[in-house]
Structure 1
Amino acid sequence: MKKIFLLTILFFFNLGFSQEIALLKYNGGGDWYANPTALPNLIKFCNSNINTRIKNKVATVAPGSPDIFSYPFIHMTGHGNVIFNAQEIENLRNYLSSGGFLHIDDNYGMDKYIRSEIKKLFPNNELVELPSTHSIFQKPFSFPSGLPKIHEHEAKRPQAFGIFLNNKLVLLYTFECDLGDGWEDYEVHNDPKEVRDKALKMGANIINYTFQN
């Protein structure tokens, strides 16, 4: 029933109906609320540039809540610890298996925690690096080298990892990139316009992939 409900939401979104996206409020002590201006700015950019009709309001949803099935796209970020309990794992797994999409953006410091939680979600599925040829880097904006670098932390290259179910990307983990920082208001990080543009365009590609696949 939940699968049918979520697929119905995706169907109506693709017909042009407005929809909400959500931010994941997780446990463990990490700052799930980081980058408060990021998603509103991404929504504005997408609605203006790729013809989406996403509501300006960003919902907040817990991983164990049945409400997650109301949102085709859920974003997760932070700098610290993440813990999913058994009920949250089951709920998230059902959500992703039913057509939902989770984007996890490491805001620096999340990596050593989130990888073990992803493994709990899908113990039999490898977290694999996406090649630069994956469609998420191709449209509507071209990123021939793959995930762009937005903020420098440890001089590592940016990487995009994914979990695939039935050959479809359902979970995207962006590492050493900090897309969310690039989506924030200019005054927060004072990033140059070209850097913010890259971040927003890559974010638009993620949104586009979510609703077109």
Structure 2
Amino acid sequence: MSILSKTFLFFVIMLACSMVSAQQFAVLKYDGGGDWYSNPTAVPNLIEYCNDVLETSIQTQVDIVTPQSAQIFQYPFIHMTGHGNVVFDDQQIENLRKYLLSGGFLHIDDNYGMKPFLEKELVRLFPDLPLQELPASHPIFNSYKNFPQGLPKIHEHDGKRPQALGIFKDNRLLLLFTFESDLGDGWESPEVHNDPPEVRRKALDMGANIVKYVFTN
């Protein structure tokens, strides 16, 4: 191999490494009055956990993005949570759809009370792609740690079973909606909810499953 070829290969490798190390997550700030800012320590804690157990190189700083922003395309993984109303206007719907179809991923974790509002917006987002429950056999439940029963229960609300619901396009998971589980509460710092260590670990392990699945599929 010539010196020129070796030099070119070196810069290609360095560029690839810089792109991997530059990966960053974001939290979605949406309209409608829902508290999008819930669980402020959740995603940073999940990132630190993934960097530890999965040996990822995700930046611990988490940005805030809006659905209509051009910056949304910079993030491979966007998290959304809250307790109440969710509203997207037509521009936001179009931008979110483009983001998801171009390779982005949105994880929506119901912190309690989002579901009836969110479902209406998801129908607008993908009218031809139904929200469907992921079976316990889906690989997202064992990509890092095995959850043979599917999505774990972290916090009780209405006593309903936890569900992982997804929207797929050409067998790719574009969007994951976790309901009646409250993963984000489990990702929060220990003093926030005073969850036992085993409960937090369960939530973080499932979060690591999601991250690993998204980055390897």
In the superposition, the TM-score normalised over structure 1's length comes to 0.93
Q: Tell me how far 1:18 sits from its aligned partner.
A: 3.1
Give distance in 1, aligned partners of 2:215 and 2:42. Answer: 19
Task: Tell me which residue corresponds to 2:45.
Answer: 41
Q: Tell me how far 1:116 sits from its aligned partner.
A: 0.6
Higher radius of gyration, 1 or 2: 2
Secondary structure, aligned partner of 1:171: strand
Whether 1:159 and 2:163 are equivalent positions in the alignment is yes
Give distance in 1, aligned partners of 2:81 and 2:17. Answer: 24
Amino acid at match of 1:34: S
Q: Deviations over 1:152-198 (max 9, x none)?
A: 00110000000001111110000000000000011111101110000
Unaligned regions of 5+ residues in structure 2, if any?
1-14
Secondary structure, aligned partner of 1:140: coil
Task: Tell me which residue corresponds to 2:193.
Answer: 189
Matches within 5 A, 1:50-89: 50-89=54-93
Secondary structure, aligned partner of 2:87: coil
Is contact 2:34-2:85 (8 Å) kept? Answer: yes
Task: Tell me which residue corresponds to 2:23.
Answer: 19
Task: Tell me which residue corresponds to 1:6.
Answer: none
Matches within 5 A, 1:119-134: 119-134=123-138
Secondary structure, aligned partner of 1:90: helix
**Divergent runs of 4+, >2 A:** 11-18
Q: Tell me how far 1:16 sits from its aligned partner.
A: 3.9
Q: Tell me how far 1:15 sits from its aligned partner.
A: 7.1
Whether 1:102 and 2:106 are equivalent positions in the alignment is yes
Amino acid at match of 2:69: S
Aligned alpha-carbon RMSD (Å):
1.4
Secondary structure, aligned partner of 2:21: coil
Amino acid at match of 1:154: D
Give distance in 2, aligned partners of 1:208 and 1:102. Answer: 14
**Structure with more contact order per residue of length (Cα contacts < 8 Å, sep ≥ 6):** 1
In the superposition, the TM-score normalised over structure 2's length comes to 0.91
Task: Tell me which residue corresponds to 2:184.
Answer: 180
Is contact 1:64-1:91 (8 Å) kept? Answer: yes
Task: Tell me which residue corresponds to 1:118.
Answer: 122
Within the candidate set 144, 151, 172, 2:148 is matched to 144
Identical residues among aligned pairs (%): 62
Give distance in 2, aligned partners of 1:197 and 1:15. Answer: 29
Amino acid at match of 2:190: Y
